[in-house]
Structure 1
Amino acid sequence: MDYRMLEHRIANIVERMHAIGGDVSQVKIEAAASSQQIAQCENQLGCKLPKSFKKVLLEFSSALYLRWVFPDDFQLDGELDGIFSGMLHWDLGLLKEINDNKNAWITKVFSDPENDYDKVWHYTLAFYEVGNGDYIAFDLVENSLDACVIYLSHDDGEGHGYKLADNFIDFLETWSRIAFVGGEDWQWVAFTANAQSGLLPESQCAKSFRSLLKLTI
């Protein structure tokens, strides 16, 4: 993972949002995590963190936050008309709390692993709370060392169960090229082809989006 490139893309996104009069929350990039912090978190969670997620935490940052919002008078058209904001965040120190919240949904609402909708929630490790009851999570069903990234919708969202990327590093690489649009599924679903395609930064929608915002990422 080229972390300098990631930081460059974040800076480019912030610059373009300021240029069009958008609002950008303070960018926070915390120091990398220690092996001890990772081990403590894994002990709390009762599972190992996926390989590429752990790599980013150890080599780059234990916690990152960025959010932008278009100005009120900025409107995209066509398939992109639902986009109004973007947000990237993760925090090693909050993983236990995030997953306690996610697991509460499973216990109270999505408890049946035999139900096609419910089972998507099971055997997952969430790292991103969208803020509306949805989550972005790692799919642990395959018991893989490097789990894919999926979307969990609590209210029949179109993106429920969609694979966003093959792993966390792929997720950062592809999502950064569409300015971390979302996290609500109805903001990023235009940049996918189907439930298994992942985010497609070279799709026509993605190219049009970057062109409209004059993003060179």
Structure 2
Amino acid sequence: MDYRMFKHRMVNIVERMKAIGGNVSEVMIGAPASLQQIEACEIKLGFQIPESFKKVLLEFSSSCNLRWVFPDEYQLAGELDGIFSGMLHWDLALLKELNDDKNGWVKEVFSNPDDEYDKVWHQTLAFYEVGNGDYIAFDLVDNSTDACVIYLSHDDGEGHGYKLADNFIDFLEKWARIAFVGGEDWQWLLFTSNAQSGLLPDSQSAKLFRSLLKLSI
């Protein structure tokens, strides 16, 4: 992954959102994690962290945060009119707590692995809390050293079970090019074509989004 390009895209997103009067949080990029910190987290979790996520934690940052919200009077037209914010975040130090919360949903609400809806929640590692009860997570079902990124909806959201990317690096590279729109599924769904397509940063919708916002990402 080209981390310099990734940071450049983050800066461009922040600058454009500020230019249109949006509310933008301070960009926070923590120090890279140590292997010891990752191993300690894996012991708490009881399994290994997917390789692409581990690579980013070791080489780039153990925690990252960026959030933007359009100003009240600002609205994109047509199919883009539901977009209002974007948020990027992950934190190795909070990973165990985050998954304890996610597993609470599994235990109390989605406990049946034979149910088509429930089973999507099982064998997952959440790294992103949307804030409405939904999560973005790794699908650990195939037990591979890496894992695809999927969406977990707690209330019959259309994006439930959608694959967003092949792995964490693929996710960051694609998501950055649509300014980290979301995380609610109804904000990013138009940048997919089906449940297995992943995010499509070169789709017509994505190109229109960048054009309207004058984003060079």
Q: Same-fold call, TM > 0.5?
A: yes
> In the TM superposition, what is the alpha-carbon distance from 1:35 to its structure 2 partner?
0.4
**SS of the residue aligned with 1:127?**
strand
Q: Could you give the per-residue CA deviations for residues 21-75 of structure 1, whole angstroms, max 9, x where no partner exists?
A: 0010111000000000000000000010000000000000000000000001111
Matched with 1:78 is 78
Aligned 1:1-217 pairs, distance under 5 A: 1-217=1-217
Q: How many residues align?
A: 217
CA distance in 2, matches of 1:162, 1:78: 23
Q: Identical aligned pairs, as a percentage? A: 78
1:73 is paired with a residue whose SS is coil
Moved more, 71-80 or 82-91: 71-80
Aligned with 1:155: secondary structure? coil
CA distance in structure 2 between the partners assigned to 1:189 and 1:144 by the alignment:
27
Amino acid in structure 1 at the alignment position of 2:184: E
TM-score by length of 2: 1.00
- For the residue of structure 2 that corresponds to 1:164, the secondary structure is strand
1:101 shift after superposition: 0.2
Deviation sequence 1:160-201 (CA, Å, 0-9, x none): 000000000000000000000000000000000000000000
Could you report, residue by residue, the CA deviation over 1:124-150 in whole angstroms, capped at 9, with x for unpaired residues?
A: 000000000000000000111110000
Displacement after TM superposition at 1:86 (Å): 0.1
Give the secondary structure class of the aligned counterpart of 1:66: strand
Deviating more after overlay: 73-82 vs 199-208: 73-82
Q: Which amino acid aligns with 1:100?
A: D
Task: State the SS of the aligned residue for 2:169.
Answer: helix
Residue 79 of structure 1, CA deviation: 1.6
Q: Could you list the runs of 4 or more consecutive aligned residues of structure 1 that deviate by over 3 angstroms after TM superposition?
A: none
Q: Which stretch of the first structure deviates more once superposed, 71-80 or 146-155?
A: 71-80
The RMSD of aligned alpha carbons is 0.4
- Aligned equivalents of 2:20, 2:26: Cα separation in 1: 17
How far, CA to CA, are the matches of 1:21 and 1:107 in structure 2? 43
AA at the equivalent of 1:110: F
Paired letter, 2:57: L
